[in-house]
Structure 1
């Protein structure tokens, strides 16, 4: 069974495509992965809040930029009595090579809106451009290695940016921004944001679980793995599986107020498990 898991992991890392095609696609994937790791290694509160805000805060005036944006703002979930989360940009753009689908979240009002309004536009546009470049490079290599335009037209070549609100109170919000390129599964990434809007700060696992948060998380995760229906789906430590949580570990806050730790596909379990989540009861 362990050999089977190791084989599955290796197969994921060594996609059987022509070398020229692999080089071009992997170059784009590395760019996205490096940006993701960089964002999660920031320990400065100011930088963390600016990055988080850049992914969702926008000046209300943005709604006047296009009918598409204005129409998207019609559905406005209320965040208590202080804030409103809304979709500030929603569109689908298709040409002969790719489809771009965007659902961009934002906060109406709030002290952070003015300072990050330009940054959010630049960040979201950069993610879209990055995905389009991966697809463009993929097509060039695909055709260069014998593929045809007709075969290319049959592929699902989509760049997508969406979001999902996990929980919210009068003063806090927890949500995930999900971006992916359909032709490159390793490029998919989820970035989780847990914000105390009243205090103007990011919520950490230590805030939710106390000073022993690492031990609490590790014990709970290992217990849940051992008690799962099939513990064998999880990689052991010597296979590169779970060892410990740290400040870069992704999580969201569920409706019960508990943190839910999230591990990306293939990091702690076989690929069939997808992203693996563990709720840590307080």
Structure 2
């Protein structure tokens, strides 16, 4: 193992002090509250909202599946609905769950909905298992019931519509887990519901899309280097960015510009979050 990889692993394995855990948890909660206020202001003017109880469940527990809201986001050939909605606490886990569903003709919408629900079920099951494993390790290393009672986990599923036209839709779904460590994964969906197919970067950018995307990413990485030559991004020879391909995630901004999205830790240190690069 070379020195760079060993340093990165040592960094990611460093124990997080209790006071930092508290600050991270508080930051997550504040960020969620701010995000919801922004999203509500964005859609409230043109969106009719109503609360309905659904027969479906989150396939996790009766408590988590107890509430569901339907909030249509305006579209031409489609609607985006919040088909699962729960915000509450259970066994020390704070759930903040809003699951989207696309209502449209054709097979694409149903396929996307099924994929999202599978990811939700897997995310919630993993979070519960992580919490149980942490609890077991906590008591095995001398933790007390009183100390354990002060600990909580935040589990998040949320989404944001990035752009839409009468027939096209671009949105992201975010899965988060926050406690002594934090995790966030973002999945992008770009749908042509008139043609019942996914939208690709090649379609948006043309035959030179790989070169255009690579140039945008490299320019963004170069711009991140500070005056002392430091950047959170890994060099290519150490697992950093090499090239985009058909699996590279992206969403489409309101102005039609695709924005590349990379998973946290994939091409940069965790402090960089999930790097995004517009291809303009």
TM over 0.5: yes
The higher-RCO structure (CA 8 Å, 6+ apart) is 1
- Give the structure 2 partner of residue 65 of structure 1: 55
Q: Contact 2:92/2:151 (CA < 8 Å) preserved in 1?
A: no
Task: Give, in whole Å, the separation in 2 of the partners of 1:214 and 1:118.
Answer: 30
Deviations 1:54-91 (A, max 9, x none): xxxxxxxx95428832xx21x32102x22111211111
**Any gaps of 5 or more consecutive residues in structure 2?**
17-51, 57-65
1:265-276 pair list within 5 angstroms = 265-276=264-275
1:215 aligns with 2:205: no
- Give the structure 1 partner of residue 82 of structure 2: 87
Q: Match of 1:134, SS?
A: helix
**Any gaps of 5 or more consecutive residues in structure 1?**
18-61
The 1:175/1:12 distance shift into structure 2, 3 A limit, reads: farther
- Give the structure 1 partner of residue 96 of structure 2: 101
The 1:185/1:279 distance shift into structure 2, 3 A limit, reads: farther
Q: Match of 2:124, SS?
A: helix
The one of 199, 202, 205 equivalent to 2:198 is 202
1:7-18 pair list within 5 angstroms = 9-16=8-15
Q: Match of 1:92, SS?
A: strand
- Give the structure 1 partner of residue 255 of structure 2: 256
Using the size of structure 2 for normalisation, the TM-score is: 0.71
Deviation at 1:127, TM superposition (A): 2.5
Q: Match of 2:185, SS?
A: strand
1:28-43 pair list within 5 angstroms = none
Deviations 1:252-276 (A, max 9, x none): 1111111111122333334332221
Task: Give, in whole Å, the separation in 1 of the partners of 2:162 and 2:223.
Answer: 25
Task: Give, in whole Å, the separation in 2 of the partners of 1:260 and 1:148.
Answer: 47
Deviations 1:159-205 (A, max 9, x none): 22111111111111111111122137464211111111111111111
Deviation at 1:98, TM superposition (A): 1.5
1:1-282 pair list within 5 angstroms = 9-16=8-15, 64-65=54-55, 68-69=67-68, 72-73=69-70, 75-79=71-75, 81-112=76-107, 121=117, 123-183=119-179, 185=181, 187-228=183-224, 230=226, 232-233=230-231, 234-281=233-280
The 1:115/1:6 distance shift into structure 2, 3 A limit, reads: closer
Q: Match of 1:141, SS?
A: helix
Larger helix fraction of residues: 1
The 1:149/1:9 distance shift into structure 2, 3 A limit, reads: same
The 1:157/1:227 distance shift into structure 2, 3 A limit, reads: closer
Q: Contact 2:252/2:259 (CA < 8 Å) preserved in 1?
A: yes
**Aligned residues between the structures:** 230
